[in-house]
Every structure is written in structure tokens, then in C-alpha cells.
Amino acid sequence: MQSARSHVTGLDPVPVSLLLEQVKLVLEGSPALASALVVGEVTSVREVGGHRYFTLKDEDKGQLRCVLFQTQMVRARIETGRMYVVGGRVSVYPAQGQLQLYVRDVRPMDVGDLQRKFEMLKAKLQSEGLFEQSRKLLLPSWPTRIGIATSATGSVIHDIQSVIGRRFPMAELVLAPCSVQGIEAPSSIVRSIRALCRVGVDVIVVARGGGAPEDLAWFNDEKVVREVRRASEVASIPVISAVGHETDFTLCDFVADVRAPTPSVAGELVVRDGAEVMAHLAHIERRVSTVAAKVVETLEHRATEASGRLVRRTRAILDVSDVRTHALDQRLGSQISTRVTLEAGRLGALEGHLGLLVRQRVETAGARLDTASGNLRILGPVQVVARGYAIVEDETLGNVVTNVRDSRVGQTLRLRMRDGTIAATVTTVAPNDLSPGVVSGSNRPGSP
């Protein structure tokens, strides 16, 4: 039987197992893969027949299956959620077509490994100028919205809330919860900082409680450090780093605008003490009062001096004016007497004419008032009731009911009629099937 050949490559197809064996030979023939050294977080640890199977993963979602055979005599304790350095041989398990690391050695990532990584990244970022003091922002004097990037369940958020609530309860806290532990922590912290920048806050606090160096190492991640600097320089939001205890230092501390030794201290740095503010305002009020008193005293002294000068000047002017006034008074008296006589005649003629006009206007207005009064009596509610209509009032509220929609079953009504009142209770409310405010037929207002 002739074997099928690939139309693309011209090669004969091979069974899956044969292809996997070829891949296995290639992998095991590589010196770098025969003695590989991998670092990552351990997940999914299980033991079968004395052999241990687990998975290594990193923050970029990469995963590698690992197997530690019982014959390797490795006694290290392997726990999920911790970082390990694992050495071994990379190969393929043909039965499942799975890439695996056959472990020969495994050890937890120690402080030395973390410190070397810390120093290398610190030197790199420092050479880029990310730690320069000139690039850092000042904290706002009166922040109204404070963003916090930390775990929603730990004691850190409660400590910060307690401190800020005690010192400056008017401030609004905006929590962007994130993971502060494990391989997912760096990406989670970055997302929280970006969320706070989007919603708009006056200052951001990145915080976590104390822990071992490997627990705080997530705040040395390059993505986290650069995101803190981006929030400060691009979003113009100052950032406070409050990670660990006073003796703990992370790269976030160096790149942030302000470092707080602890999360509680961050709460004290971000807002002023209300009592301190009130004392400061009282001090300012006393200073203003003192200055104002001095200003008033100076103005009063100047006003007294100016008043004396004004009085003396006025007296001199009045002495001269008295002479001139006497002469003008005699001339003005003669002219006024002549003018008064002339105007008195004109005024008498105008009074007669004005009296005639007033009488005519009063007579006209009286006629109009009589007409309007008659119309008002015809249209008034008394005349309407006299014609057989009734005025419907709410017995409790006393207001007039003009619309079916204002009534309800069980409501007590008072019907005012020509010769008295009738008390009634509503048993049925039946509005017309018309649009609101429109009535027709026998229910139209004014119909009997």
C-alpha cells in the first residue's frame, strides 16, 4: 500500500508518538535544556506514589509542569504560593504530549536572590532618573478624595481609615482593592493604580502590611514601579508608598513622591489633624484681630486730625459766606415775592381745572365698578350654588376637590349646597377614559 505524502512539504506523515520522540530527542540533546534553572511560583502540588507533581508559573501567565521523582532524594518542602528556584531536565512526556521539567533540585528563593534582583533593577531605574527628587510632586494641603490601593480584607485599610477618620473625617476614601501577595500581585496593583487615576483622586496611597522579604518583593516589580511614576508624572497625582514596616524598603518607596514608614503613618501624612487645623485658624484669627485693631486705631487718629482741619476750614469759609449770603438773601427775597404772586394766580386756575377732571374720572370709575360688581355676583360661588350646583370639599383637608383623580375610595367629602352641607363617603372612583386633564359628557365640570 502506497503511503500518503503531504502536498505541502512532500514528507511522509508519521505517527504522533514518533513525532513526540523526535521532539524529546531534540530537547534532551540541548545542553541548556538538559540542565535548566527556572524560577516561578508553585501551584497545584500533588503527590502520587511518592512522586510529587506541581506547576511553576510566572506573572506573564507562563506555566511549566514539573515532576520530582521519589528517587531524586530531594527533601525540600514544596508549598503553593511561594517562589522557588527549580533545576532539572526539560523533556516531553510522550504519553500526554506534555512538556515537563524533570526536577533534580528545588529550593525556595532566598533573600540573596531577591536582593540581587532588587539591586540590579534599582541601578537600572536610577540610571533612568526615576528616583530624582526634582521629579516628585508635593502632597496636596487639603485633599478631598484619597485613593488607596491595597487589599480589601487586611488590617491595612482599616488602619488607614481609622487614622484619616480621626484626623480629617471630611475626606472621602476611594478604595481600589488589589492583591498584595502572590504572582498575580504586580498586575493587580497596576490595575488598581490605573483605576484610581481614571476616577480622579487628589492623592494615591499604595500600601501593604509587614512581611518577609519575599512577601514585599512584589512591590519591587518593574511594572509596579513604573506605574507609580506614571501616575505621578502623567496623571499628576502624587503617590505615597506605605509598604511594610519602618525598616523595610522597596523600589516603590524610592520612586513614590513620599515614603511612609507604615500604612498608619501614611494616613497621618496625607491629611492634616483637624485639631491642629482649628488651632492654626484660631492663631490666624488672633493675629488678624490684633492687626485690625492697630489699623482701626491708626485710622481713628487720622480721622480726628482730618476732622479738626475740616472744622477750622469750614468756619473760615462760613464767615465769608455769611456776608455774601446776607446780600443774596435780600435780592432773592424781592424776586421770590414777585414770582409767588404770579404763580399763585396760575395755581388757582389749575386747581379749578383739576377738580373738574377728578369728578369726571370718579364718576366713570364708579360706573365700571358697579358693572364689575354685578358680574362678580352672577359668577360667584354663591350664585352657582343657588342654581342647583354643589361645591365638593375634602372633609379632612378642607380643600376643594375639582378632579376625579384627586379622590380615593373611603375619602370623606363635604358637599356645600344652597341651604346647607351634606357629608358623603366615596365608594367608587371612575375616571373617564381620556388623557389627563380632559373631561367630557355628564362628568364635565358644570354639568348637573
Query: pLDDT digit string (tens) for 353-378?
Result: 888 888 888 888 888 888 887 777 77
Apex 59 CA angle, 53 and 64, nearest 5: 30
- CB under 8 Å to 109, separation ≥6 — which residues? 39, 82, 83, 84, 85, 214
**Which of 423, 425, 416, 413 lies closest to 391 in space, CA to CA?**
416
Its sign, for the CA torsion 185, 192, 242, 237, is: positive
| Burial bucket for residue 68 (CB in 10 Å: 0-12, 13-18, 19+) | buried
Average pLDDT over residues 390-416: 84
Enumerate domains of the chain plus CATH numbers: 16-109 (2.40.50.140), 114-130+138-272 (3.40.50.2300), 275-379 (no CATH), 384-443 (no CATH)
| pLDDT of 2 above 70 | no
* Residue percentage of the chain with pLDDT more than 90: 22
| pLDDT of 168 above 90 | no
DSSP 400: B
Mean pLDDT rounded to a whole number for the chain: 82
| pLDDT of 236 above 90 | yes
> 118: pLDDT confidence band, cut at 50, 70 and 90?
confident
Tracing cell 414777585 back to the chain, one arrives at 338
Of 12 and 440, more confident? 12
| pLDDT of 275 above 50 | yes
* Residue percentage of the chain with pLDDT more than 70: 91
- CB under 8 Å to 181, separation ≥6 — which residues? 81, 151, 211, 215, 218
- Report d(CA 274, CA 166) in Å as an integer: 8
Residue 261: how many other CB atoms lie within 10 Å = 16
Cβ–Cβ < 8 Å for 146, 171: yes
Compute CA distances 428 → 407, 408, 410, 424, whole Å. Answer: 9, 8, 9, 12
The pair phi, psi for residue 154, each rounded to 5°, is -80, 180
Q: How many CA atoms, within 13 angstroms, populate the side-chain half-sphere of residue 331? A: 5
Please give the pLDDT value at position 259: 93
- Report d(CA 181, CA 88) in Å as an integer: 27
- Report d(CA 264, CA 248) in Å as an integer: 15
> 445: pLDDT confidence band, cut at 50, 70 and 90?
very low
Per residue in 278-331, pLDDT (tens digit) is: 777 778 878 888 888 888 888 888 888 888 888 888 887 877 777 777 777 777
Per residue in 8-62, pLDDT (tens digit) is: 555 778 888 788 777 878 877 777 787 888 888 888 888 888 888 898 887 767 8
Please give the pLDDT value at position 205: 96
- Report d(CA 223, CA 186) in Å as an integer: 7
- Report d(CA 107, CA 114) in Å as an integer: 13
- CB under 8 Å to 264, separation ≥6 — which residues? 159, 160, 163
Please give the pLDDT value at position 438: 38
Largest CA distance in the chain: 153
SS3 percent helix, strand, coil of the chain, rounded to 5, is 50, 20, 30
Of 191 and 6, more confident? 191
Q: Which three cell numbers stand for residue 6?
A: 503531504
Average pLDDT over residues 232-237: 93
> 437: pLDDT confidence band, cut at 50, 70 and 90?
very low
- Report d(CA 304, CA 285) in Å as an integer: 28
Please give the pLDDT value at position 429: 85
Q: Against a cut of 0.75, is the pTM above it?
A: no
Please give the pLDDT value at position 430: 85
Please give the pLDDT value at position 111: 60
Please give the pLDDT value at position 148: 95
| pLDDT of 408 above 50 | yes
Average pLDDT over residues 340-356: 80
Please give the pLDDT value at position 218: 85
